[in-house]
Amino acid sequence: MTADDVRASAAALAVRALELPELARARTVAAYVSVGSEPGTLALLDALRARGVRVLLPALLPDNDLDWGAYAGEGSLTRVRHGGRMALLEPAGERLGPDAVTRADVVLLPGLAADARGTRLGRGGGSYDRVLDRLARARAHPALVVLLYDSEVVERLPREPHDRPVHAVVTPSGAHRLREP
């Protein structure tokens, strides 16, 4: 994809995501800043903030778990390199603790692919598996939404016993509800 294609996809993804009823009524959304070839999220983060939504962003901990901080605009992000991995944009402000995600109405998840059953394929680091486990232990039930490109929605993925299905997939061409939250 060209840089223009990536920008256009990010803008379309934001429009489609904002059409979800769960995001329309959300007061707190746990999200992430896209990296590499992931669908762009900054337009969506800024649109949520403009609506008065509290946006939480992750900060990677040494054990691959995630802490959270509030998003206060693109200028509130800092580039952090974690060992030999790629650099991530993380919130520069106060850390709210790993349990902050349990107060979110919606959790936006990164992924490499998802299927019609709601199975999400992550990058394999386990960070978001820990988030989903934390939500289950806290008996928190936010809407779980994965952001993907259209070509990353596939017919069927293998599902492991620890995998927790998502409720919806949003792509630049539309939102696909997989199950009710």
Bind-site residues for substrate:
33, 38
Known binding residues for ATP are: 120-128
User: Measured in whole angstroms, how far is the alpha carbon of residue 157 from the centre of its chain?
Assistant: 19
Q: What is the dihedral of CA 79, 103, 106, 154, to 10 degrees?
A: 70
Amino acid at position 4, single letter: D
| Spatial distance between the Cα atoms of 74 and 94, rounded to a whole number of angstroms | 16
Show binding-site residues: 33, 38, 120-128
Q: How far apart are alpha carbons 72 and 56 in whole angstroms?
A: 9
**Could you give the CA distance from residue 107 to residue 133 in angstroms, rounded to a whole number?**
13
98: closest CA among 146, 64, 123?
64
Q: Answer for the pair 130, 66: CB distance below 8 angstroms, yes or no.
A: yes
126 in Cβ contact with 138 (< 8 Å): no
